[in-house]
Amino acid sequence: MFIACFGRADDALITEIAKQTPYCAVFRDASFSNDSAMVNFEQIFATYSPSTIRRVESIATAKRQEVGRGLRLCVNNTGDRQDIEVCGEAHVHGPNMLTVIASESYAGFVADLQSKIKECLYERPTKASVEYFTGKTFLVDDTPRPITAMEAQEIFLFLRMNNYIDRNTDTSWQILA
């Protein structure tokens, strides 16, 4: 049986199609209802119908799936996930760091993906400064209170002295550990 899906496909529909174990399944990248369905497509077929020939009509989708696989939690040599329960909070980011060594065909794709991720995280600072902290509010006994310039200076010095920011005031990966 051959199946071609050009309508809206979510995880449930993809799972239903995979359970039918077709010989070949073809999807158009625009037919996926969301990024999750697009990324999970291969995994769902690998689970329910590993012998199905599957194809997504888009180079960008294939690249996104390959990069997305690298973003999942890593496993050790026996297949056990290396997540926070196994590694502990202090060490979980060590084995779960992703390094992408991109060929020329991936360079533009990865740059675009990083740009989109940065847009989503635009409120997360990449540089620390006294000005950034000054005026930010936090709760004290459920009452909002702004950070004073003096407190902002103390926060900045604490971050610098503990290597959470470098000499250029860039945030450090150490802050994640």
Percent of the residues in the chain that have a pLDDT greater than 70, as a whole number: 68
| pLDDT greater at residue 16 or residue 169 | 16
| pLDDT greater at residue 27 or residue 174 | 27
The pLDDT confidence band at residue 176, using thresholds 50, 70 and 90, is: very low
pLDDT of residue 177: 44
> What torsion do the CA atoms of 82, 87, 89, 90 make, to the nearest 10 degrees?
-120
Least confident of 27-41, 96-110, 142-156: 96-110
pLDDT of residue 88: 76
CA distance 88 to 95: 11
Mean pLDDT over each residue of the chain, to the nearest integer: 76
